[in-house]
Chain A
Amino acid sequence: MTNEAVAHESDHHAPPPNVAADVVARELVATTTGASGRFKAWTWILGILSVVGIAALIVKFIDQGDDSTKWGYVAAMVSFLLSVAGGAPMVAMAPVMAKANWVRPITRIASLFSFAGIATLIMLIPLVAILPPLVTEGARRRTIWYMAPDYSPHIWSTLGLVLLLLTGIMLFYSAALPDFASMRDHSTGWRQRLGKRLARGWVGTDVQWRTLRMRIGMFGTFYFLILVFVNFLISTDFGQSMVPGWRDAIFPMYHTVSGFQAGVAGVVIALYFSRKYMKLEKYIHLDAFWSLGRLLFALTLLWIYFFYSSFIVFWYGRSMNDIATLDLLIKGPMIYAFFAGMILLWFVPWWILIWNKVRRGTGAMVVGSFVILLGLLIDRIRTFVPAWSVPPENIHQKWLQEIPATVWPDVFDILIMAGGISLVAFTVMMMTRVIPVLSVWQVQEFNLLAKPIRYIKGHATLVAKPD
Chain B
Amino acid sequence: MQQRRELDQVYTNRKLLNGQLDTPKWWLPTVSILGVVVLIGVVVIATMINKGLGVTGLARPVYWGLFITTFVFWVGISHAGIMISAILRLTQAEWRRPVTRAAELLTVFSLLTALVFPLIHAGRPWRIAYWIMPYDVARGIYPNIRSPLIMDPVAISTYLTGSTLFLYIALLPDLGNLRDRTTGWKNAMYTVLALGWRGNPRQWKMQTVGGILLSALMLPIFVSVHSIVSWDFAIAAAVEGWHSTIFAPYFVIGAVHSGVSAVVTMMALMRWLWKWDDFIRPEHFDALARLLIVVATGWLAFTFLELTFALYGQDAPEIALREMQMFQWPWNALFITFFLTAYLIPVPMWLFKRVRTNIALMFWTSILVNVGMWLERFLIIVPGLARRTPFVYTWEAYRPSPVEWTIFIWSFAWVTFLMLLFSRFFPLVPLFEAKESQVFTDDVMIGRAKVPAIVREAD
- Residue numbers of A with Cβ under 8 A of B are 13-15, 99, 142-144, 146, 228, 232, 247-253, 287, 290, 301, 305-306, 309-310, 312-314, 316-319, 322, 356, 360, 448-449, 451, 453, 455, 458-467
Contact = CB atoms under 8 A, between A and B. Distances in A.
B453 A249 contact: no
B231 interface: yes
Contact of A250 (B305, B444, B451): B305
B317 to A, nearest CB: 13
B97 to A, nearest CB: 15
Given A462-B455, A465-B1, A252 B313 contact: no
Given A144-B308, A249-B305, A318 B237 contact: yes
A309 B458 contact: no
A466 B308 contact: no
B305 A253 contact: yes
A461 B458 contact: yes
Contact of A458 (B237, B244, B313, B457): B457
Interface in B25-76: none
B309 A458 contact: no
Given A459-B458, A460-B455, A247 B235 contact: no
Contact of B249 (A13, A290, A306, A360): A306
A317 B312 contact: no
28 contacts: A13-B458, A14-B458, A142-B312, A146-B314, A247-B309, A248-B309, A249-B246, A249-B309, A250-B249, A253-B246, A290-B459, A305-B248, A306-B249, A309-B245, A309-B246, A313-B231, A313-B247, A316-B231, A360-B459, A449-B446, A458-B457, A458-B458, A459-B458, A460-B455, A463-B453, A464-B452, A465-B452, A465-B454
Contacts of A451: 444
Given A248-B309, A313-B234, A449-B446, A15 B458 contact: yes
Contact of B302 (A146, A253, A356): A253
A462 B309 contact: no
A408 to B, nearest CB: 29
Given A249-B308, A461-B456, A463-B453, A309 B444 contact: no
A466 B451 contact: yes
A143 B313 CA distance: 8
B245 A462 contact: no
Looking at chain B's contact residues, the main secondary structure is mixed
Given A306-B249, A318-B237, A13 B459 contact: yes
Nearest to B238: A319
Contacts of B247: 309, 313
Nearest to B219: A301
A269 to B, nearest CB: 22
Interface in B281-340: 301-302, 305-306, 308-314
Contacts of A319: 237, 243
A249 B303 CA distance: 10
Contacts of A312: 231, 235, 248
A228 B301 contact: yes
Contacts of B310: 249
A252 B301 CA distance: 11
Contact of A313 (B243, B314, B459): B243
Contact of B444 (A144, A460, A462): A462
B453 A142 contact: no
A40 to B, nearest CB: 38
Given A247-B313, A250-B246, A460-B457, 4 more contacts: A247-B309, A455-B455, A463-B454, A464-B453
A317 B452 CA distance: 53
Given A249-B246, A253-B305, A360-B459, A462 B453 contact: yes
Contacts of A144: 308, 312
Closest 10 CB pairs of A and B: A249-B309, A316-B235, A249-B246, A309-B248, A310-B245, A464-B453, A13-B458, A464-B451, A250-B245, A250-B246
Contacts of B459: 13, 287, 290, 356, 360
B141 interface: no
Given A305-B249, A316-B235, A462-B455, A142 B305 contact: no
B449 interface: yes
A319 B146 CA distance: 18
Interface string B247-283: 1110000000000000000000000000000000000
Contact of A142 (B2, B227, B313): B313
Given A142-B313, A309-B227, A314 B444 contact: no
B106 interface: no
B223 interface: yes
Nearest to A451: B444
Most buried by B among A250, A251, A318, A356: A250
B435 to A, nearest CB: 15
A287 B456 CA distance: 12
Contacts of B301: 228, 253
Contacts of B243: 313, 317, 319
B273 to A, nearest CB: 30
A227 B17 CA distance: 49
A451 B444 CA distance: 10
A464 to B, nearest CB: 4
B377 to A, nearest CB: 18
Contacts of B458: 13-15, 458-461
Interface string B82-115: 0000000000000000000000000000000000
Contacts of B442: 462
Contacts of B234: 313
A260 to B, nearest CB: 13
A247 B449 CA distance: 55
A64 to B, nearest CB: 29
A305 B223 contact: yes
A51 B246 CA distance: 41
A72 to B, nearest CB: 22
Contacts of B246: 249-250, 253, 309
Nearest to A315: B235
B2 to A, nearest CB: 8
B384 to A, nearest CB: 15
Contacts of B223: 305
A252 B235 CA distance: 20
Contacts of A466: 1, 446, 449, 451
B456 A465 contact: no
A156 to B, nearest CB: 14
A455 B457 contact: yes
Interface string B226-242: 01000100110100000
B322 to A, nearest CB: 12
A453 B444 CA distance: 12
B237 A309 contact: no
A248 B314 CA distance: 13
A148 to B, nearest CB: 13
A464 B446 contact: yes
Nearest to A143: B312
Contacts of B237: 316-319, 322
Contacts of B235: 312-313, 316-317
A208 B225 CA distance: 49
Nearest to A286: B459
Nearest to B454: A463
A465 B312 contact: no
Nearest to A12: B458
Contacts of B1: 99, 465-467
B169 to A, nearest CB: 21
Contacts of B220: 301
B312 A247 contact: yes
B351 to A, nearest CB: 12
Contacts of A462: 442, 444, 453-456
Nearest to B353: A467
Most buried by A among B223, B456, B459: B456
A142 B314 CA distance: 7
A448 B306 CA distance: 46
B343 to A, nearest CB: 16
Interface in B195-246: 220, 223, 227, 231, 234-235, 237, 243-246
